[in-house]
Amino acid sequence: MDKLLPSASAAVADIPDGAMIMAGGFGLCGIPENLILAIRALGVRGLTFVSNNAGVGGVAGDDFGLGILLRTRQVKKMISSYVGENKEFERQFMSGELEVELCPQGTLAERIRAGGAGIPAFYTATGYGTVVADGKDTRWFGEGAAARPYVMERGLYADFAIVKAWRGDRHGNLVYRATARNFNPMMATAARVTIAEVEELVDDIDPDQVHTPGIFVQRLIVGEQYEKRIEKRTVLAPSGAAKGQE
């Protein structure tokens, strides 16, 4: 089946108001930039996003990644792990405009993987005794001195997932490059509709090199352009002392 669509706007055209969307990426790496821009142009509102972080800070600013959807007030809720550098995120959260569900990074990854595997919930020791466990079921597992408490976390499954890959074919088979594999492969399995954007469209991919099989991908686009930003740059001062610059 040929899953290639002519544009990012065509790929996201049926995303409705109030949809839950997973968005791949970690910092500046593996962000589905073209699909995010298309969602902004679509103008849908009241969205819930599952993403490791919501935009980035430093020179990348709040105008990159999901930060651009925060600025247009299209995001109602974020389920995230790392949000500490986005000033607009902070402002909206502190003013009560944005609902936030913070989740430890490893737990977030496992919640997504569980959703894709059809696992409704699981127990993890991470977060026990902290606010992360508030209102959640906790149980002890293990025998004797090995027994310890665990917190129940629910799997995540979204209406749509938008992911970024390095290469793909028309069947939707994807290959990620280096650390761009971050959250993208697991998110591709955990949504009703997965939309992938790729840097390169190829005719054939060695089956042994496929990271996301095409069965998980419903739509595919070729990205028009990508910004190669640097989130934090470290340079040497004339004296030889290290000088950090964002």
| Phi, psi of 22, rounded to the nearest 5 degrees | -95, 135
Higher local confidence (pLDDT), 224 or 230? 224
Cβ distance 132 to 142 under 8 Å?
Answer: no
The residues facing 125 across adjacent strands are: none
Looking at the predicted structure, is the pLDDT value of residue 20 above 80?
A: yes
Pairing assessment for the beta strands 47-50 and 20-23 based on DSSP bridges: parallel
CATH number of this structure's domain 8-120+155-235: 3.40.1080.10
Mean pLDDT over residues 155-175, rounded? 97
Instruction: Report the pLDDT value the prediction gives residue 240, as an integer from 0 to 100.
Output: 57
Q: What are the backbone angles phi and psi of residue 62, rounded to the nearest 5°?
A: -90, 10
pTM of this structure:
0.88
Between the alpha carbon of residue 219 and those of residues 32, 162, 201, the distances in Å are 13, 10, 13
Residue 236 has a pLDDT of 77
Domain residue spans in the chain?
Answer: 8-120+155-235, 122-154
pLDDT in tens, 54-99: 876 544 455 678 889 999 999 999 999 987 777 888 889 899 999 9
**pLDDT of 238 over the 80 cut:** no
What percent of the chain has pLDDT above 90? 75
- Statement: residue 173 has pLDDT above 80: yes
| pLDDT tens, position by position, 90-136 | 889 899 999 999 999 999 999 999 999 999 999 999 999 999 999 99
